[in-house]
Amino acid sequence: MKKILLITNAFYRTERLEKQYAMLEKALEDRGFEVERALNAQLIYALTKEGADFFRRLPSAALMWDKDVPLARALELAGVRVFNSSRAIALCDDKVMTHLALTKACVPTPRTFVIPMSYTNVGYNDLSFVDEIIKNTGLPVVFKQAKSSYGMGVKLAENAEQVKNFIRGTKEGMLLQEYVKESHGRDLRVNVVGGKALCAVERSSDGFCSNVLQGGKMTAAELTEDAAKLAVAAANAVGADFAGVDLLFRDGGYTVCEVNTSAHFGTVKEVTGINLADAIAEHIAANA
């Protein structure tokens, strides 16, 4: 029997996530895998305590449902095939890096500008570059922290002073992105596995962000050919085995907002009837 590690985070644990892990475990077992659940903290501890001998005993495949990039890379260096790869996780966990990868692959996105880095002990003593950026994006403008989830690091700024205050209060990577009015409070999440777009759901809310965990609603949506092609191109640009690709509505078509390597899919099954755990397990079985 083939063995596989299902790796999850030791510190962020919810009932919603546990249900999703159970779906993944069952789907893998149905395809002949012996699944070993492991927390990222357990593996890092074993790495530092037992070293190479421990890694030689690892199975040849791991499903990484976490954003622990160093752990994913350590597993790869030990010869383990990791789904998703450390590179894909790193690119998608940092919105600046996602933007650069999508730009290189010529995948359409809203006009985006990376906030220049400053040192923590220096801060931003000259924010004149904000005014130059806004000349290109217009107002309002979307401010994003590079490393944030569930829409919590995304804000809509109505003027330059708001942008400058957001920057002053943030100590990590940031970007400014053109506001797409047509998609205010709604987006299209397309789920891609193994280079194929499987289903789409529309997320909507009364506010600016459409994330379900911030009160947004999810409904089944038509998966058009254009949306499918764009979502697959975005997933390929970051090298993801599977991804939830968020598209914004624009000019009767779409533009890419974000790519997620460990997107929640429990609600997707509820509204579409499609169990993405099965598709992910099939992809792993064919590529492990």
CA 124, 155, 88: angle at the middle one, nearest 5? 85
Q: Is the pLDDT of residue 212 over 70?
A: no
pLDDT in tens, 29-45: 999 999 999 999 988 77
- Domain range annotation of the chain: 2-84, 90-108+182-287, 112-179
**DSSP assignment letter at 84:** S
Q: Which residue matches tokens 């890694």?
A: 55
Tell me the C-alpha distance between 207 and 216, whole Å: 9
- CA-wise closest residue to 246 among 218, 281, 276: 218
Model confidence at 272: pLDDT above 90: yes
Q: Tell whether the model's pLDDT for residue 3 goes beyond 80.
A: yes
pLDDT tops 80 at residue 211: no
The whole-chain average pLDDT of the chain stands at 93
HSE, side-chain direction, 13 A CA sphere, residue 23: 21
CATH of 2-84, one of 2.40.50.140, 2.40.10.10, 3.90.1150.10, 3.40.50.2300: 3.40.50.2300
- pLDDT value at position 69? 96
Sheet strands (E) in 231-286: 242-250, 253-260
Q: Is pLDDT above 70 for 213?
A: no
pLDDT at 105: 98
What does the pLDDT read at residue 6? 98
Superfamily of domain 112-179: ATP-grasp fold, A domain (3.30.1490.20)
pLDDT per position as a tens digit, 77-128: 889 999 999 999 999 999 999 999 999 999 999 999 999 999 989 999 999 9
> Are the C-beta atoms of 95 and 259 separated by less than 8 Å?
no
- Residue 208 pLDDT more than 80? no
CATH superfamily label, 90-108+182-287: ATP-grasp fold, B domain (3.30.470.20)
Q: Are 266 and 191 in contact (CB under 8 A)?
A: no
